[in-house]
Amino acid sequence: MIFTMDNADKYQDYIFAVGEVLGIENSLTEVRVDIKKKCDQNAGGFCYGDDEEIDIEVATTVQGEPLEQEQIYRNIAHEMIHAEQMITGKLENVGLQLVQTGDCQSLVNVCIWNGKTYTNTKYDDQPWEIDAYAREEEVMKEAMLCLK
């Protein structure tokens, strides 16, 4: 895993520990982590890219309120889980695709999860999000133990 960090020096050791916990520390994927005051749509974080380059953004505030340190660590773990999903090939974000239905064309967001194609899937129904939420707490705790 090749890291580039913007505003993430404070979290560098933790980010590397999460990479170790997830087993992606030896990946050749370039992972860029940016700790920002605010992410778009007031999200706690974002992860996007492919198995070669991944960008992660994590917010320190949501809806104008500062996040507690533990929540920032949890959000880093969550977004790093998405990075692991992409690095291992579980998740592929194909992006927007033009779909023809009869005489109509429309744009749909396409992702592939474990070989199954998902289009315009509601956030709460996205299996990659279900997976990340299910594992984020344990990954965070294991990474914190690595730091001690």
| Gap between the Cα atoms of 52 and 65, Å rounded | 34
Mean pLDDT of the chain: 91
pLDDT digits (tens, 9 = 90+) for 94-145: 877 877 778 888 787 899 999 999 988 999 999 999 999 999 999 999 999 9
Distance of alpha carbon 74 from alpha carbon 143, whole angstroms = 10
Q: Give a three-class secondary structure readout of 46-91.
A: EEEECCCEEEEEEECEECCEECCHHHHHHHHHHHHHHHHHHHCCCE
Would you say 80 and 56 are in contact if contact means Cβ atoms under 8 Å apart? yes
pLDDT value at position 98?
Answer: 79
7-16, 88-97, 108-117, range with the lowest pLDDT:
7-16
Q: What is the mean pLDDT of residues 61-79?
A: 95
Between the CA of residue 139 and those of 1, 84, 95, 103, what are the distances in Å?
A: 17, 12, 27, 48
Q: Is the dihedral of CA 131, 87, 70, 126 positive or negative?
A: negative
In this prediction, residue 76 carries a pLDDT of 97
> In the chain, what percentage of residues exceed pLDDT 70?
95
For residue 109, what pLDDT is reported? 84
Q: What confidence category does residue 5 fall into, taking pLDDT thresholds of 50, 70 and 90?
A: low
Write out pLDDT tens, residues 48-58: 999 899 999 99
CA dist., res. 94 & res. 99, Å (int): 13
- The pLDDT assigned to 19 comes to 94
Which pLDDT does position 122 carry in this prediction? 93
What residue ranges define each of the domains in the chain, with the CATH number in brackets?
2-89+123-147 (3.40.390)
User: What pTM, to 2 d.p., does this model score?
Assistant: 0.91
Give 28's Cβ-side CA count (13 Å radius).
1
